Amino acid sequence: MNFIDTHLLSLILFVPALAAVIILFLPNGENRVFRWFAFGASFIPFVLSLLVWFRFDANQSGFQFEEIYVWYEAIGSSLHLGVDGLSLTMVLLTTILTPLSILASFSITDRVKAYMILFLLLETGMLGVFMALDLLIFFVFWEVGLVPMYFLINQWGSANRNYASLKFLIYTMGGSLGLLLGIQLLGVLFNTYDLQIITAQWSTYTEDIAGIPASTFKTVAFWAFVIAFAIKVPVWPFHTWLPDAHTEAPTAGSMILAGVLLKLGAYGFLRLILPLYPEQARVFAGALAVLATAAIVFGAFASYAQTDFKRLVAYSSVNHMGFVVLGIAAAGLASGTPDAHIALNGAILQMFNHGLSAAGMFFLVGVIYERTHTRNLNEFGGLFPLVPVYGGILIFTSMASLGLPGLNGFVSEFLVVRGAWPILPVYTAIAMLGLLFTGAYILKGIKMVLHGPLNEHWAPAGGEHKLTEINTREILVMVPLMALILWIGIWPAWILDVINKAVVRLF
Amino acid sequence: MNFPVLSVITFTPMVAAVLILLLPAQRKNEARAVALAAATFALILSLWAYFNYDQAAAGYQFVEKYTWLNLGQLNISLHFGVDGISMPLVLLTGVVMFTGVLISWGDDHPHVMAGIQDRPREFFAFLFVLASGVFGVFVSLDLFMLFFFYEIAVFPMYLLIVIWGWIVTREYAAMKLTLYLFIGSVVSLVGVLVMYWVAGQNTGVYTFDMLQMEKAGFSQTFQDIWFLPVFLGFAVLGGIWPFHNWSPDGHVAAPTAVSMFHAGVLMKLGAFAALRVGIMLLPQGAQTWSWLIMMFAAIAVVYGAYIAFVQTDFKYMVGFSSVSHMGLVMLGFSTLNRDGLLGSGVQMFSHGVMTALFFAVVGMIYDRAHTREIPELGGINKIMPFATIGFIIGGLVSMGMPGFSGFVAEFPIFMGVWGTQWLVAVIASISIVITAAYIMRNIRQVFFGELPQKFEGHLTDITILDKVAIVVLCLFMIVIGLFPNFMVPLVQTGVDNILRLLGGA
Amino acid sequence: MFTPTVFASILPEILILVIALLVLVVEPFWKEEKRRNVGWLVAGSLLLAMVISFLFGQPGEPTATLGGMVRFDWLGFFFKQLFMFAAAVTALLLMENEKVGRRGEAYLLMLASLIGMNLMASAGDLVMLYLAIETTSIPLYVLAGFMLADEKSTEAGFKYLLFGAMTSAVMLYGFSLLFGFTGTTDIYQLIGKLQPGIATFGVLALILVGIGFKVSVVPFHFWAPDVYEGAPTPVAGFLSTASKAAGFAVLIRLFFVAFPDFAPSWTLALAILSAVTMTVGNLLALPQTNIKRLLAFSSISHAGYALIGAVALSQLGAASVVFYLAAYILTNLLAFGIVMAFSRVTGLEDLKDYSGMSRRSPWLALMMLAAFLSLAGMPPFGGFVAKVFVFAAGIQAGYVWLVVIGILNSIVGVYYYLNALKYVYLFRMPEQDEENHPVPLTRPYVIALAVLAIGVILIGTVFAPWFSWSDAAALNLF
């Protein structure tokens, strides 16, 4: 037990990668073996992160479960892991969603082995970002997650996958270029990559760098960081890769993409930008708020305009993530105030919530797509009577996404709006209008799929209709998600407590 | 006297070459077997040396010194020794030699004609003479011997390309390559000879021993004048822009194993000699001119990547990517600081292994598909999954993806550039995105998608020897990527020595 | 008069004379078809003579013997050994020549010329020098035109004669003027006796013409390609190596010993000659399609490289010239030997006829590779080290510009040497049936070529002993 106690984080981090290697050496053969092995392997981090969650002491300041290993001594980088309330929430989200996504991908039949390997590697990449306390390690895992995702989209995606996957890759890599350069600069300046040391020194750094005033340099570096993360979030106008990538990705890929990968960007804002550039964050909060508001409003409009079910859900991500950024912008402007803390609480909870609901939505889109082989909303209609269970689940999840009180989305969006209102009243007001359209597009989606006149195409012929009901495995995927959605909606305190204490201490 | 491991490594290929030539011409498999045995032996020895290098002691180790000519004002000795910079390169040569022999073994499948089927005896003999030269350059501490081995490494290239190369361009490419390299090397020769006499006058000791020449106390003016000819002369072989022109043509025309050697090891030879002779013996000259080298290197990095991006010939793409990556090595040199040099040291190894893998896979595909036009290829992974994975890993290294050796190497280079000229770091970093774009696009186009109709049925998978080669190469890239300490501290001992020569820093 | 020293100083010549007499005696007793065995006899006994003179004829302190006619020193000794080696190899190559090899006179003429060369290398007096030069030249005129039925051979002999006679007359005029100005013919007495002035430079120029012809520097090179092409190939090989080296021996001894006071002027002249020779030789070699003509022009350019060492006017310079010539003799003989071996079987001498040679005879191809790469100055062959030393001497003396020209020329050289190898290794015979056209080698060739090839590699790798001897030889000039 002792080993597990002292290496909890590294176990969570590397068990998936290890499992991937084991799968690589498993003999080719039964797909079933790979599926269950991967599922089982992804369950271990989940159990371990639950362990971490319960052992985590929210009242203690600083990072917990810290581990530090020699990695790249020569340039002052080490494998330094640790979690606080902020990152632990994200770790939990990741370890919950990964097994569910793997379960959701049991319907994959093509090259299951490679698929599972990539999926597990992806999990390691994402977890690494959330746990890293070393800038270089942060970047390493940031990029590591990219490649499996690229191949998941490229190999198991739908028709337009080549274009979408390359766009995804180039956008993200191009975006992270500024991040890379910024990280290098910090490393050169401080001769270490340890996040805590750099945070302490850089935020108050005032000397000239290469003859350029520190403030100018910081501004440039700030924007380099912002662009890198904004692309990942994605913030309007850097979001155009997202609908393509989501739409073309396989179902489980979309789940993880929306559920976790987008959170990486927001996490970057919280973990790096706000602590490293408090000054710049305040100065440019207005600009960020503009982008966030634009994301909310345009995301909603764009979503409403879609006829492709999956694109509709994809644009909804832009819309929802806009609230996260709005919260962050508010916090940047008025850092340290109670309002800012409320907004940040909302933003972080929104990240978690959106992870749950977006994953659920994408999965449900996938379920219907597998049966109908179309995502065109116009080809659906009136399906509710045919698949009542599916319909119920879809409505439930949509409502969470819409922000229905009693479900989780409401809690977080309310917090963001409540926190941002005194700080950025105008933008918040506009964002509220966007929220209105959120309702509109979600209801439109439900209507066009489930209600209205039954599309003749699916009409029962000879008593048997062509659609089959959602099966047990698929329900099993949805049950944990729905449970969490409901739980947080009714009693958010268990998670907000952890988040809040971290937020108050950090910002 | 300890076991003379360096001279055994250096002369093993030479002896093997003679043995192979003594075999009867018809016995192809025997020639291959001797080649493989010698390559394995050299690889094992270089691994042994690698792990027995005492990092705490640093400096030149496994030193051997035999007086070769000691007469009046001419002092030449066979002085071997390795430091933190050259040790990885010796290992690299061992690895590339081993894998090069493996993939040249060939496949007797009637559709394939992979590997070397025509006169394998001569092929391996020439290749091994080349390998001996390469080893010799890396371990020589005597400037004359360094030069001697340098030339030995250059001329077999002509024959290897012209005889076994791609029929369309081999004559042109081989001659172009040889002339470029020869011009570069003789330009350096003039500089080297001038340095020899001036060092002798300054110190009263006339010797080609580089450890002595380091103390020659060349004047600032002298160094300013002679640094560029010496450095650039060698750097031609390192593929420095604007003298890189020979390299893609040469890569493309060469047979697979030779491309591997050429891009994997020979280009390092140029970079290494430029470092050892140019920067280490003329450090102040290097300081004067580092801006120019940095400019050339930065252009090479971006330009090489862009040209690679627009290629439709698979092998040209890889060839130009080498220009881009060797530009990074030069970029690291030009920083003259710890991080940059460290990165360059690792990058030389990393790029060597990576590009060897690239060329190996490209060769495997070409041998079977008989085309290298990227648009004509597709779906290769259905036939050669192993090669696909290998190429993807190489591609990730090439992109500087974390977790692989490329990242470990490129990151300090950029840090070093930040330390000297931040704008260059920003410009050069563009290449990362371009590289990612062309690598990913080509992986998708060549390995995935539909298998063209004309390949149905007659493409075959690679042989088991090919797979071994791929595994060996990938292993090094992953191990270094995950555990930088496998190589970085070693390189650092070498870098410290260079920094000492650069004065104080 | 005949003290042991005197005897030792001309021991090689005596031995050669004995061999010549032996040939005269033995040859008539052998039947026509067995007469080629004279080659074995000559080669073997020359080797024996080398060994004997090496054991008993080593010089100590430089001395003048025979009334100052002969210098007994390492410079002469080393060159004599080289010449005898070259002659031995040439004898082996001669015997396989259908038209020449069965005639004892050919060997006799070669031996006579060899005596002349030996004396050229050791002459200490202008009179002796002139006699030696004529002794060398006249048999060679005959040898070059030896194949009477062959128009080209006759032309070669005649051309060689005309050029040779004229330039030696010019040189003789120079010698006589020298005597007139100084009152002595002893080379070692000349120093300090000449006054600077137009007349002196004129004298030096006249002498340079004569030597320039021997070593075939531009512009006195016109005879070389035609003669090499027309003369029997072994003779061409001999001409381009031993005869040329003898010219160099004279050049360095005469100019280093007698005229160091006028150094800046004649070294500059030599530098210009060197530059022009290298450049013209290499550029003219480029378009050649006949391999003997190619080698002829290449050998012209090599005289240019070797001159760089002489230009340096230093001990290292002289040593590097001697070393260069040693490497060059081995290499060029190897090249000519291969050409002979090939044309003996095929009767062809064009570059394109060498297509597919590596498949017809891999070993011959490999040796050609060694020879041509050595000529191009690539390691591990002798040409590389030799070139580096010559360049090093040039740079030491401050002639960086000349070295740069030399280097540019090497690049041109690399081009055409590699181009020739391309035929050997890359191109194929028109029917691609090389296995039906092997190039068998007879025993004399195998021995000669193997010895030469090993020598080329040895001198390029284990160069210390060779260079020490060259250096010892050079030491005698200062």
ipTM attached to this prediction: 0.89
Angstrom distance (rounded) from CA C455 to CA C380: 11
CA–CA gap between residue A316 and residue A243 (Å, rounded):
10
* The residue count for chain A: 507
Q: Where are the domains of chain B?
A: 5-501
Cβ-defined contact of C410 to B162 (cutoff 8 Å): no
Report the residue from A154, A170, A177 with minimal CB separation from B444: A154
Delimit the domains of chain C by residue range. 262-478
Residue B168 φ then ψ, to 5°:
-70, -45
User: B186 and C407 in contact by Cβ < 8 A?
Assistant: yes
Specify the DSSP element, H or E, that contains B492: helix B488-502
Query: Looking at beta carbons, which residues of chain B come within 8 Å of A185?
Result: 418, 422
Alpha-carbon gap, residue A368 to A374, rounded angstroms = 8
Cis peptide before B13 (omega within 30 of 0): no
**Alpha-carbon distance values, B185 to B36, B129, C113, C131 (Å):** 31, 18, 41, 45
Q: Which single residue is written with the structure tokens 């340099």?
A: A217
C and B touch per CB criterion (3+ pairs under 8 A): yes
- Write down the residue that tokens 């020193």 correspond to: C73
Question: What confidence score (pLDDT) does residue B444 get?
Answer: 84
Nearest to B175 by CA among B153, B159, B151, B189: B159
pLDDT of residue B3: 83
Asked whether the beta carbons of C434 and C356 are under 8 A apart, the reply is yes
Q: Is B386 exposed, middle or buried (0-12, 13-18, 19+ CB in 10 A)?
A: middle
Of B152, B171, B197, the CB nearest to C379: B152
Amino acid at A184: Q
Phi/psi-derived region of residue B106, left when phi > 0, alpha when psi is between -120 and 50, beta in every other case? left
Query: What is the identity of the amino acid at A33?
Result: V
Q: How many residues in chain C?
A: 478
Mind telling me how many Å the CA of C419 is from chain B's nearest CA?
Answer: 8
- Per the rule left: phi > 0, alpha: psi between -120 and 50, beta: everything else, C361 is beta
Query: B interface mutation test: which of C388, C439, C466 has the most B CBs within 10 A?
Result: C388
| Contact yes or no for B21 and C366 at CB 8 A | yes
Q: How far apart are CA B371 and CA C366, in angstroms?
A: 33
Q: Do A188 and B488 touch (CB under 8 A)?
A: no
Q: Cβ neighbours of residue B461 under 8 Å, at least 6 residues apart?
A: B383, B384, B386
- What are the structure tokens assigned to C374, written together? 């050595």
Ramachandran sector of residue A158 (left: φ over 0; alpha: ψ -120 to 50; beta: rest): beta
Give phi and psi for A69, each to the nearest 5.
-130, 150
**Interchain CB distance below 8 Å, A75 and B407:** no
Is it true that the peptide bond before A16 is cis, omega within 30 degrees of 0?
no
Q: How is residue C91 written in tokens? A: 């004898």
Q: Which mean pLDDT values do the consecutive 10-residue runs of chain A (507 residues) have?
A: 80 89 84 87 90 86 86 84 88 90 85 87 90 90 86 83 84 84 84 85 76 81 88 84 85 86 89 86 88 89 88 88 89 85 90 90 88 83 82 89 85 88 88 85 86 76 71 88 90 88 83
Helix axes A425-450 and A388-402, enclosed angle (nearest 10): 170
Nearest to A201 by CA among A188, A220, A213: A188
C388 touches chain B (CB under 8 A): yes
Please list every residue in chain A whose beta carbon sits closer than 8 Å to the beta carbon of residue B484.
71-74
Tell me which H or E stretch contains A67. strand A64-72
Q: At what angle do helices B464-482 and B385-399 cross, to 10 degrees?
A: 30
Cβ contacts (< 8 Å) between B483 and chain A: which residues?
Answer: 71
- Bond prior to A99 in cis (omega within 30° of 0): no
Touching B: which chains, 3+ CB pairs < 8 A?
A, C
Contact across the interface for B436 and A140, Cβ inside 8 Å:
no
| Distance of residue A251 Cα from the nearest chain B Cα, in angstroms | 20
pLDDT of residue C127: 92
Whether residue B299 lies within 8 A of chain A, CB to CB, comes out as no
Q: Which of A143, A193, A217, A248 to mutate to test the interface with B (most CBs of B within 10 A)?
A: A143
Reading the block at residue A278, the tokens are 């408090």
Q: Which one, of C333, C334, C330, C310, lies nearest residue C389 by Cα? A: C310
CA B88, B91, B92: angle at the middle one, nearest 5? 85
Assess C468–B contact: CB distance below 8 Å, yes or no.
Answer: yes
Give the residue from B474, B53, B405 showing the smallest Cα distance to A72: B405
pLDDT at B455 over 80: no
Which among B147, B155, B193 is the nearest to C373, CB-wise?
B155
A210 neighbourhood in chain B, CB within 8 Å: 422
Query: Which residues on adjacent β-strands are paired with residue C427?
Result: none
| Partner-chain contact B488 A72, CB within 8 Å | yes
Higher pLDDT, B461 or C224: C224
Nearest to B245 by CA among B177, B322, B167: B177
B496: closest chain A residue by CA: A74
Residues C348, C333: Cα–Cα separation, whole Å: 19
Terminal-residue alpha carbon distance, chain B: 36
* Residue B383 to chain C, least CA–CA distance (Å): 34
Question: In which band, very low, low, confident or very high, does the pLDDT at B450 lie, cut at 50, 70 and 90?
Answer: confident
In angstroms, the CA B114 to CA C478 distance is 63
Q: What is the DSSP letter of C397?
A: T
Per the omega criterion (within 30 degrees of 0), is the bond before A45 cis? Answer: no
Q: Which residue has the higher pLDDT, A9 or B504?
A: A9
A144 to chain B, closest Cα gap in Å: 6
Contact (CB<8Å) B414/A180: yes
Q: Taking CB atoms and an 8 Å limit, are B440 and A169 in contact across chains?
A: yes
Contact flag B72-C392 (C-beta cutoff 8 Å): no
- Per DSSP, C260 falls in state G
Q: What pLDDT is recorded for position B505?
A: 42
Tokens encoding C258:
């007698």
Q: Is the pLDDT of residue B32 over 70?
A: yes
What per-residue confidence (pLDDT) applies to B462? 81
Overall average pLDDT of the B367-377 stretch: 84
pLDDT digits (tens, 9 = 90+) for B414-437: 888 888 888 888 888 888 888 988
Phi, psi of C70 (to 5 degrees): -120, 135
Cα gap A56→A91, rounded to integer Å: 13
Residues of A in contact with B485 (CB under 8 A): 70-73
CB-closest option in B148, B190, B197 to C379: B148
Given a cut of 50, the residues of chain C with pLDDT beneath it are none
Binary contact (A140, B412; C-beta < 8 A)? no
Q: How many CB atoms lie within 10 A of CB C183?
A: 10
CA distance B280 to chain A (A): 21
Q: How many CB atoms lie within 10 A of CB B451?
A: 17
Displacement of CA A191 from its chain's centroid (Å): 32
Query: Residue C403: its chain B contacts at CB < 8 A?
Result: 190, 193
Q: Which amino acid is at A480?
A: P
B277, B219 contact by CB (below 8 A): no
Condensed to tens digits (0 to 9), the pLDDT of residues B187-226 reads 888 898 899 988 888 888 888 888 888 888 888 899 999 9
Q: Which of C326, C472, C322, C59 is closest to B71 using CA atoms?
A: C472
In terms of CA atoms, which chain A residue is nearest residue B415?
A184
| Closest partner CB to A181 (pick from B412, B425, B489) | B425
DSSP tag of C103: -
Structure confidence at residue B330 (pLDDT): 92
Pairing state of beta strands C63-65 and B74-82? unpaired
Closest partner residue to C426 (CB to CB) among B67, B70, B163 is: B163
> What part of B 406-435 touches A (C-beta under 8 Å)?
407-408, 411-412, 414-415, 418-419, 422, 425-426, 429-430, 432-433
Q: Which one, of B328, B327, B352, B321, lies nearest residue B342 by Cα?
A: B328
State which residue of chain C sits closest to B163, comparing Cα positions.
C426
| DSSP letter string, A399-454 | HHHHT-BTBHHHHHHHHHHHHHTTTSHHHHHHHHHHHHHHHHHHHHHHHHHHSSSP
Q: pLDDT value at position B93?
A: 93
What tens digit of pLDDT does each residue of B123-174 get? Answer: 889 999 999 999 999 999 999 999 999 989 888 888 888 888 887 888 888 8
Kind and range of the H or E element at B261? helix B256-261
